[in-house]
Amino acid sequence: MMDDIQLCKEISRLKKELQKLIALPENEKSNEEKQKEEELVQQIHKLVETRDFLVDDVEFERLREREEDKEMAEFLQSKLSKSYLQKASLQPESTSCSPLRVSTSCHCSCFPLQHHHRRDFPSRLVQA
């Protein structure tokens, strides 16, 4: 970023200098002014090429980092999937949980209705 900012400042400075020389009528320019004009054009061209290289380099790094992020995400996803599958295969197919007793009038906010009857729940959740 600092290189880019410095390059832009230098390019701007050289352009202002060049504009002053270009503003002079061609027939009034000395050989030194004509030579200075040519040198400024070459310096600006060189700085623009350097800046283009920096911009391309930053873009390349951004794309490389994006690819690395994608690869890491895929790697983590595969590890998490394998870990989940391993945990699932280690657990017995039916878990033995204590039956859940549900009141016939539940006033909790986790259900959309104010009153629930035993018949509204799956049989595995209601202990008779």
Look at residues 5, 18, 22 and name the one whose alpha carbon lies nearest to residue 44.
Answer: 18
pTM (2 d.p.): 0.53
Look at residues 68, 61, 50 and name the one whose alpha carbon lies nearest to residue 4.
Answer: 50
Please state, in angstroms and rounded to a whole number, the distance separating the CA atoms of residues 33 and 19: 12
Quick: pLDDT tens for 64-105: 999 999 999 998 888 888 777 677 666 555 444 444 444 444
pLDDT tops 90 at residue 11: yes
Poorest-pLDDT segment among 12-16, 35-39, 77-81, 99-103: 99-103
What one-character-per-residue DSSP string does 52-74 give?
Answer: HHHHHHHHHHHHHHHHHHHHHHH
Q: Name the amino acid, one letter, at 103.
A: S
Please state, in angstroms and rounded to a whole number, the distance separating the CA atoms of residues 8 and 15: 10
Q: Name the amino acid, one letter, at 28.
A: E
Q: Name the amino acid, one letter, at 40.
A: L
The full set of domain ranges for the chain reads 2-96, 98-128
